Structures are given as structure tokens and as C-alpha cells.
Structure 1
Amino acid sequence: MVEQLRVDVDDLTGARIIALLTQHHADMAATSPAESMHALDLAALRDPAVTVWSAWLGADLAGCAAVKELDAGHAEIKSMRTADGFTGRGVAAALLGHLVTAARDRGYRRLSLETGAEDYFAPARRLYLRHGFTECPPFGAYVPDPLSRFFTLALDPE
């Protein structure tokens, strides 16, 4: 199924991507207390430092992910989400591979992320570890938080 996945830069104007990201933000707010919830809302995802990609299987929106540039050598993964009905089909792994390739192509030396420490986020943590990310201390503007886990991947140019 994943071989049919098409990943495009998204301008965040389509109703389906807006609905998916709105659902993602609401789910994150319901899962984590406000001080530990770091998902970007639509306005923040439209920042020029952020690129959002949508993943499509045919005409169906299967997921999305974003990368935010922190500096010329470091970027952060934001708002990874697989759409309902597409979990367990390799969408997240394919999107993550796309983000790593895009980060390398942009010349970043490091790609990092924050995710939750709660059981709800265990599948995401396993995904990142399977793809070579390692736990790290808080980066950027993050501070230590028992409800957050931080991961990073050193990017070697290919």
C-alpha cells in the first residue's frame, strides 16, 4: 500500500488537511496538559519556517507531517499524524522517511522532535527509535518535562 503513497508540500488551504490538523491539535490538547502540549495550531503551521507535507493514497488523505527549521543546521519534526483508517499501513514510516530525506536535502545536520511520555504516544516513540532516532535532552526552547520525551537523529549527507 505504501508504494502508492504520494507526499506533497501542502499549502494548508484544503478542507481535508485543515480537518486532519484540527483533529490532531484537539487530540493532543485532550491528551496532554496545556503546559506539556507542543503541537502547532494551523496559524503556527503557516509560519514560513515550517513546511507541511500531506500524504495521499489515491484521492484519500492518509496523513501529514511538518518540519520546522530551528537554525541552518537543525530542524524539528512537528504534527506527525496518520489519518483515521490508515494506521498500521506504513503511512507514518513512509512520511518519516520523507522528512529525513527532505531534511538531508536541505542541509540540516540534525533532525529532532518532542513527543509525549504517556502510553498514548508509545507507538510514535517506537517508530522514531526504529528509524534511528535516539533520546536526547530538551533542545531549542524546550525545558525538562516529565510528560515530554525528546529524540534526535544526526543526519549524514548522502
Structure 2
Amino acid sequence: MYATSPPESVHALDHGALAHPDISFFTARAAGPEATLLGCGALKQLSPRHGELKSMRTSASARGQGVASAILTRILEVARERGYERVSLETGAEDYFETARRLYRRFGFAPCPPFADYTDDPNSVYLSLALP
């Protein structure tokens, strides 16, 4: 994220932060003996009813193969199982992030105001999805 966004607008979590008890980490791997990592995503509990989607990534070699959709589908299933009423996310406003924003819109995420500890930032887009 540091290659595409100003440092003050990077909200990515490092490995240590992803290991926090409030965060569940998900991966998608290729079938076979090497089990190559294709993508990942995380779900952070903000409250008993609100989760945050974090750290969605797909490897360059796996893009366009449905990996991000599969990970996002699984994360939203887990959010529903936990009783979350809403899942929110922050992503970049730059053109680089358009593919991600398109994915989130396809899943029903809609613009929302900054949530949790986020503040207004011209380099960020905030989206949220109400869960049935």
C-alpha cells in the first residue's frame, strides 16, 4: 500500500497486527502439493455486531480467477455466523483501487462515513454492507 498511497493514508495491517485476537485471517491456496497462496483477507471485530474487512489481497498470478470473490464470500459467511449486522471497510480512492471498489460494490457495499478510528481522508473510500 505504501507504493500506491501517501503514508498517512495507509491503513494496512502488518503481520503482528493481523495476529491480534480480534482478527481472523483467511487464505485461498491452489490445490496441489505446493498449495501456492492465491489471496488473503481478514475480518476484524469492531464490536459484537460490527466487523471490518481488512487486508484483502490477490496475487498477481491469480487475478481475474475469482479468488477475491471467494475470500470475500467466506468472510461474509463468517460475519453472519458471528451475528454481525454490518461489515465495513476502508480502501483507497486512487485509480489503483478501482478493481477492489468494483468488487465491493458488486457484493452490495455502499459508501458510508468514516467509522471506528478513521477520519475524513481524501485518499480513502469508506464502504459498508448491512447483513441480513
Q: Report the TM range for the smaller structure's normalisation.
A: over 0.9
TM-score (norm. length: structure 1): 0.80
Equivalent of residue 54 in structure 2, options 61, 68, 78: 78
Cα RMSD for the two superposed structures:
0.6
Equivalent of residue 88 in structure 1, options 59, 64, 71: 64
Aligned equivalents of 1:75, 1:30: Cα separation in 2: 27
Identity of aligned residues (%): 54
Q: Which residue of 1 aligns with 2:90?
A: 114
Equivalent of residue 30 in structure 2, options 44, 57, 67: 57
Write 1 or 2 for the structure with the bigger share of helix.
1
> What does the per-residue CA deviation read over 1:28-63, in whole Å, with 9 as the maximum and x for residues that have no partner?
011111110000011110111011011112122110
TM-score (norm. length: structure 2): 0.96
Q: Which residue of 1 aligns with 2:2?
A: 29
Cα displacement (A) at 1:130? 0.4
Equivalent of residue 68 in structure 1, options 39, 44, 66: 44
Aligned equivalents of 1:116, 1:104: Cα separation in 2: 25
Structure 1 residue ranges (4+ consecutive) displaced by more than 2 angstroms after TM superposition? none
Aligned equivalents of 1:120, 1:32: Cα separation in 2: 9
Aligned equivalents of 1:30, 1:90: Cα separation in 2: 24
Aligned equivalents of 2:60, 2:120: Cα separation in 1: 31
Gaps of 5+ in 2: none
Number of equivalences: 129
